[in-house]
Amino acid sequence: MKQFTYTITDPVGIHARPAGMLAKAAKALDSTVTISKADGSKSAVATKLMAVMGLGVKTGETITFTIEGGDEEASAAAMEQFCKDNM
């Protein structure tokens, strides 16, 4: 299991477009990616668009990515790069 945190910098948080792109990127991986709010109140599997949007992540909030199974190292690196490029 690999984990990393990321603080959202997008001015409107995780809305429909980045959530859709995130779900698509997660589906392409050989691992299961779970996103959790920093306070632990909510979590969602990254491939589930509506669940990711339901987290209600706003600008400045920190989320934790948990990557399990498959090639965790490569999947974690891909997710970190996706966050830096898109969120």
pLDDT at 60: 94
Closest CA to 37 of 71, 13, 16, 17: 13
Can you give the pLDDT at residue 41?
A: 86
Q: What is the pLDDT along the chain (87 residues), one digit of tens a residue?
A: 999 999 999 899 999 999 999 999 999 999 999 999 988 889 999 999 999 999 999 999 999 999 998 889 999 999 999 999 988
First to last CA, the chain: 23
Give catalytic residue positions: 15
For residue 65, the model assigns a pLDDT of 96
Phi first, then psi: what are they for 5, rounded to 5°? Answer: -110, 155
Tokens (6 digits) for 8? 């959202």
